[in-house]
Amino acid sequence: MEFKVENKANYSVVKVLSKKLDTNNAPDLKSELVVLGNENVKNIILDVSECEYIDSSGLSSILVANRLCEDAIGTFILSGLQPDVEHLIRLSMLHTVLLITKSVKEAEDLLAKKGNL
């Protein structure tokens, strides 16, 4: 598996362990995200800090995660964008739709604040 899933009390952190999120591994990520959704995980942090390249399949899996969390009335956070990935996210205007943080720690802090509201 090219992903590491860490389940916490109120959320899960999914870390992509490969340099690329593309047609070779994006379907596996989608499957993992659907499994989390079926396990009633409402909040997901997707850590792509090791990804230097994401193609349209990768973007699709990110959007699947966002939709699953929205449908569950939860929060999806994309974390750790590398420069080329951030450029693609901005080019596709997904930065206007997705919640993005620089680090997993920042994402965890944000989820903690949302829990206290």
Hey, what domains does the chain have and what are their CATH numbers?
Answer: 3-109 (3.30.750.24)
pLDDT of res. 115: 76
State the Cα–Cα distance between residues 28 and 103, nearest whole angstrom: 23
pLDDT tens readout for residues 95-117: 999 999 999 999 999 999 987 64
From 110, 49, 117, select the one nearest 76 (Cα to Cα). 110
Confidence of residue 3 (pLDDT cuts 50, 70, 90): very high
Can you tell me the distance from the alpha carbon of 54 to that of 111, in angstroms, rounded to the nearest whole number?
A: 25
Tens digits of residue pLDDT in 53-98: 999 999 999 999 999 999 999 999 999 999 999 999 999 999 999 9
Please provide residue 79's backbone torsions phi and psi, each rounded to the nearest 5 degrees.
-135, 145
> What pLDDT, on the 0 to 100 scale, is given for residue 6?
95
Dist. CA 67–CA 98, nearest whole Å: 10
The whole-number pLDDT of residue 114 equals 85
Per-residue confidence at 1, pLDDT binned at 50, 70, 90? Answer: low
